[in-house]
Each structure stands twice: as C-alpha cells, then as structure tokens.
C-alpha cells in the first residue's frame, strides 16, 4: 500500500497504520568490522547476520582485491572469511573502490598505512570523494604513516605508501568511531604501545570485537576514554553474530510512535549503549516504547522493542548525546516536525560531513513539505505540529535521507514523490519491501 515499485522514483502514500513485526538487517558498523578483522586474523571467521548491503559489500570487495577469500554476501547466509594474518594483505592491482562508504575508506586507511613496501589507492563515489579524510591521515602521520590526497591529503583519491609505524599517544579532536578505529587498526602492527584518547565516547564496536579476536587492547583512563593497544598479539578467526542495526530500526520506531493507530515489534536490535541515544530521546518525548527480550550476542547487548503510537513531546539534543545518535538525526528531525512545540538540535556540525550535508538536505527537503525549520551552523530549530503536505522530494543520494523522507511522507497529508529512493540500498536493501509489508 505504501509505495509504487519503480526502482528510483517512488510514489509514497500518506496515512494508514504500521502494524506487525519487523527484523531489521544486520548492523552496518559491526558488519564492516567483522570483514576487516576477519581478513587480518589467522584461520576462518564466520559471520552470521551480516548486512547484505552496498556499504559492507564495498569493504568485502576491497579486501578481495588484496587477496582475501570471502564467500558471497547474501541475505540469510553465513559469510566465511579466510584470514591472511596481520601482515598478509597483498598489494592490489588497481584502485580500491570504497563506493559510498566512509567507514570502508577510513578504516582501510588505518589498516593499510602500516603495510611496509606496499602501495594502495583508495577512491569512491562523488559523495565519498568530497568527505574529509585528513582527520584520519593526520593522526596516522604521527605514527609514521604516509597518506597523500587532494587538498593536502583531505580528499580521495588517496595514495598510501605503506610504512613501518611507531606507537603514539593520540588525542582525537572529535568523537568519531571511524577515526578511533583507524588508529586502533594501525596500532596492531606499530612498534610500541598506542593510546587513543577520545573527547567523548563514540561507538565501541571495534574495541569489543578486536578484543574478542585476541588483540591486546585495554580500555582505561579515569573516564574510560583511553584505549591502549599493545602490538604483537596474533588475531584468531572467530564466529561473529551481527545484531540488527538500531540506525535502521530508528525509522520504524519513530514512524510507529507517530502514526496514529500503529503498533510494531522490531526484533533483534543491537542495544550497545554507545548507540542508543535515539531511545533516550524517544523517552524524553514520552514515546510508548518498551524493550522486551534483552539478551547478549557475541559481546553486544541485543533486544526487541515494542512501540505504539502516542502524542509526542518535542526534544532537546545537545553535543553530549550526538555521538550516541549521530546517524539518527535525520529521522529525529522528521519526528520533531510532528510533535507539538519546538525541538532543538545543537552540537551537530559533524552531520554536515556525512554522505551529504544532512542538516542542509533535511531542512531543504522537509521545507518542501511545509516544515518550519531554522538551520544553524551546528544544528536545527524545528517548530513542530505544522501540518506537512505531500511534495516532490529527493534523497540527494543519501540513504538515511531517503528513508527519513519516506517516513515524513507517511505522516504528511497527501501523497509524495521521492526521487533517488534507491539510495536506501546502501544500508537497508529491503526497506521498501518492509514498508510495503508493514503499512496497512
Ligand atoms: C561509523 C561511525 C560514525 C557513523 C557511521 C558509521 C562506524 O561515523 O556516522 O555511519 O562504523 O564507525 P563517525 O565515527 O565518523 O562519526
């Protein structure tokens, strides 16, 4: 009922209800890490529940180009990675294509910079070639890394001349799991200990999984923001079970919380506390959500969430919580449009350097539906409860924008047309199918 079936341009029907059960696809961050860490381990890594979407497939293809044997990444199939050991990656014959995936490019920078006497070129689509990379290249340089690129190393294509690295103590200027993870990967083969200190906690999947693979990694410091890696440990292939992605679940959580008469159960969601900011905000909004069946899978907390529609209050999001909901700001912006009062987002300038400038794109697209949003350099002020109307919308190539606008269209009055809907495949290939199934 919700959508027409053209691959890119979709008609989105407004109204109706969302009911039933949905199991969101595997966590994107954990899927990338399982592939990368499996590739540099000894023996076989088996990954269950991996996200069969464009971004992890980019990571797998880059690793294959360096000699790693990885079985096909297909829905519902266990993926096997034949690890080459810490120093086994081969020099590729061609450019490594990271597609649209910032995580692929940034984590590979850390993984490859210490491969002595090997040369690598990393590139990607036009969105990725416009995203800043010096934030990773600069701290890697402190460890002896050599990465060059356009605009003084800030933009891909990037060239990496593998070097022997030395450990260092590095404070990262922003709480970014991508920067942190790149440094931790470089530290595995550096000479001497590396300590990475973050200004705030970013998602900690790398720390959890590297330790499970056997890395000598310790999380310490007074407030747990010092991550210490001692090189020399051999990583061993593991079985990894990937929980569902809370960033994909967020679309259903917010849609069902707002669309009158809706009731959904979203199963198997990863509930790592560094990722659950969206639940904190939904609680702040008085949403009717309940976590049921909590359990732990391969070192990560997981649970099901039941959500029922209700009146929601506006929210305040500030810098402190941003790292825990960084990818959910677009859909939270949609939520703010439909609750009574003014919501404020500050400390969110990182949103401007995601797959698109998400503050600008969400403002532009939601304004086309009649939303009242003020855009600031580091956030948004959203005056809610103005009736939004159906409109001609565009994802501007951004997967999370595409899915956020789909939910906005459900909640608006009158049908909408969405161009660039195929972008959802970057992180949630079955999003449109799930929407059709749940929307009654
Ligand atoms: C990711 C970290 C986040 C997030 C991205 C995935 C990761 O980026 O926005 O979608 O897997 O490490 P930053 O760490 O750069 O904020």
CA–CA dist 314, 286 (Å, integer): 9
Measured from the CB, is residue 403 less than 6 Å from ligand 1? no
| 3-state SS, one letter per residue, for the chain | CCECCCCCCEEECCCCCEEEEEECCECHHHHHHHHHHHHCCEEEEEEECCCCCHHHHHHHHHHHCCCCEECCCCCCCCEEEEEECCCCCCCCCCCEECCCCHHHHHHHHHHHCCCCCCEEEEECCCCHHHCCCHHHHHHHHHCCCCEEEHHHHCEEEEEEECCCCECCEEECCCCCHHHHHHHHHHHCCCECCEEEECCCCCCCHHHHHHHHCCCEEEEECCCCCEEEEECCCCCECCEEECCECHHHHHHHHHHHHHCCCCEEEEEEEECCCCCCHHHHHHHHCCCEEEEEEEEEECCEEEEEEEEECCCCCCCEECCCCHHHHHHHHHHHHHHHHCCCCEEEECCCHHHHHCCCCHHHHHHHHHHCCCCEEEEECCEEEEECCCCCECCEEECCCCHHHHHHHHHHHHHCECCEEEECHHHHHHCCCCHHHHHHHHEC
Catalytic residues: 327
Asked whether 327 lines ligand 1 (CB < 6 A), one says yes
- For the domain spanning 28-241, the CATH number is 3.65.10.10
pLDDT of residue 19: 98
Distance 249 CA to ligand 1 centre (A): 16
Edge to edge, the sheet with strand 10-12 lists 10-12, 416-419, 392-394
Ligand 1 site, residue 59, Cβ cutoff 6 A: no
Question: Is any atom of ligand 1 closer than 6 Å to the C-beta of 172?
Answer: no
Condensed to tens digits (0 to 9), the pLDDT of residues 48-64 reads: 999 999 999 999 999 99
Write the residue with the smallest CA distance to atom 4 of ligand 1: 327
Q: Supply 201's token pair.
A: 């906690």
- From the alpha carbon of 247, which atom of ligand 1 is closest? 10
Give the Cα separation of 139 and 159 in Å (integer): 16
Report the b/e string of 79-110 with b at 16+ CB within 10 A. bebbbbebebbeebeebbbbbbbbbbbbbbbb
The residues pairing with 240 across neighbouring beta strands, listed in sequence order, are 47
Q: Looking at ligand 1, which atom is closest to the CA of residue 326?
A: 9
Q: What is the pLDDT of residue 221?
A: 72
For ligand 1, is residue 103 a contact (CB within 6 Å)? yes
- β-pairing, 147-149 with 155-161? antiparallel
Among 3.20.20.105, 3.40.50.300, 3.65.10.10, 3.50.50.60, name the CATH number for the domain at 3-25+243-438. Answer: 3.65.10.10
CATH 3.65.10.10 maps onto the chain at 3-25+243-438, 28-241
Q: At what angle do helices 177-187 and 205-212 cross, to 10 degrees?
A: 30
Residue among 244, 302, 317 nearest 272 (CA)? 302
Q: How far apart are CA 314 and CA 325, in angstroms?
A: 16
Pocket test for ligand 1, best of 107, 172, 203 (most atoms within 8 A of CB): 203
Nearest CA to ligand 1 atom 15: 176
What gap in Å lies between CA 395 and CA 418, rounded to an integer? 7
> pLDDT tens-digit profile of 202-257?
999 999 999 999 999 999 876 668 999 999 999 999 999 999 999 999 999 999 99
Phi, psi of 372, rounded to the nearest 5 degrees: -110, 95
By the 8 A CB rule, do 339 and 415 touch?
A: no
Find out whether 85 and 42 touch, Cβ atoms under 8 Å. Answer: yes
In the structure encoding, which two tokens stand for residue 46, read together? 């088996």
Is the CB of residue 178 below 6 angstroms from any atom belonging to ligand 1? yes
- C-alpha count within 13 angstroms, C-beta hemisphere, residue 54: 19
Quick one: pLDDT at residue 1? 45
Ranges of residues in the chain with a pLDDT under 70 are: 1-7, 222-224
Query: For ligand 1, is residue 194 a contact (CB within 6 Å)?
Result: no
Ligand 1 centroid–CA 323 distance in Å is 9
Sign, Cα dihedral of 91, 133, 273, 363: negative
Q: Ligand 1: which of 104, 105, 178 to mutate, most ligand atoms within 8 Å of CB?
A: 178
**360 burial level (CB within 10 Å; 0-12, 13-18, 19+):** middle
Between the CA of 142 and the centroid of ligand 1 the distance, in Å, is 22
- For residue 293, is it left (φ>0), alpha (ψ between -120 and 50) or beta? left
Measured by CA distance, the residue closest to atom 16 of ligand 1 is 176
Cα–Cα nearest to 215, from 369, 42, 414: 42
> Residue 2: what pLDDT?
44
């Amino acid at each position: 009922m919700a959508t027409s079936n053209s691959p890119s341009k979709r008609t989105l029907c407004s109204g109706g209800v969302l009911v039933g059960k949905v199991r969101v696809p595997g966590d994107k961050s954990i899927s990338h890490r399982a592939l990368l860490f499996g590739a540099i381990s000894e023996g076989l890594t088996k990954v269950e529940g991996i996200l069969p979407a464009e971004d992890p497939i980019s990571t797998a293809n880059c690793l294959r180009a360096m000699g790693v044997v990885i079985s096909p990444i297909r829905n519902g199939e266990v993926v096997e990675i034949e690890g080459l050991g810490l120093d086994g990656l081969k020099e590729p014959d061609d450019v490594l294509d990271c597609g649209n995936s910032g995580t692929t490019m940034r984590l590979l920078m850390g993984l490859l910079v210490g491969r002595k006497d090997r040369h690598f070129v990393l590139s990607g689509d036009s969105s990725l070639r416009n995203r800043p990379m010096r934030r990773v290249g600069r701290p890697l340089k402190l460890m002896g890394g050599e990465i060059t690129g356009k605009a003084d190393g800030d933009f891909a294509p990037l060239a990496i001349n593998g070097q022997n690295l030395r450990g260092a103590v590095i404070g990262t200027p922003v709480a970014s799991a991508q920067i942190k993870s790149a440094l931790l990967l470089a530290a595995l083969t550096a000479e001497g200990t590396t300590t990475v200190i973050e200004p705030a906690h970013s998602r900690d999947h790398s720390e959890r999984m590297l330790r499970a693979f056997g890395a000598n990694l310790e999380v310490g410091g007074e407030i747990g923001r010092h991550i210490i890696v001692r090189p020399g440990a051999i990583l061993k292939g593991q079985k990894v079970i990937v929980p569902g992605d809370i960033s994909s679940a967020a679309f259903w959580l917010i849609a069902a919380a707002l669309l009158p008469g809706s009731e959904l159960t979203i199963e198997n969601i990863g509930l790592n506390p560094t990722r659950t900011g969206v639940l904190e905000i939904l609680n702040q909004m008085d949403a009717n959500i309940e976590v049921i069946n909590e359990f732990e899978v391969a070192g990560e907390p997981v649970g099901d969430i039941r959500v029922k529609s209700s009146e929601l209050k506006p929210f305040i999001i500030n810098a402190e919580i941003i790292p825990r909901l960084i990818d959910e700001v677009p859909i939270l912006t949609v939520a703010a449009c439909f609750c009574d009062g003014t919501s404020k987002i500050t400390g969110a300038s990182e949103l401007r350097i995601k797959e698109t400038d998400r503050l600008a794109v969400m403002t532009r697209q939601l304004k086309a539906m009649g939303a009242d949003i003020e855009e600031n350099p580091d956030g948004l002020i959203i005056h809610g409860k103005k009736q939004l109307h159906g409109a001609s919308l565009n994802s501007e190539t951004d997967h999370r924008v595409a899915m956020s606008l789909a939910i906005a269209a459900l909640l608006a009055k009158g049908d909408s047309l969405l161009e660039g809907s195929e972008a959802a495949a970057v992180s949630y290939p079955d999003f449109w199918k799930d929407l059709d199934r749940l929307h009654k």
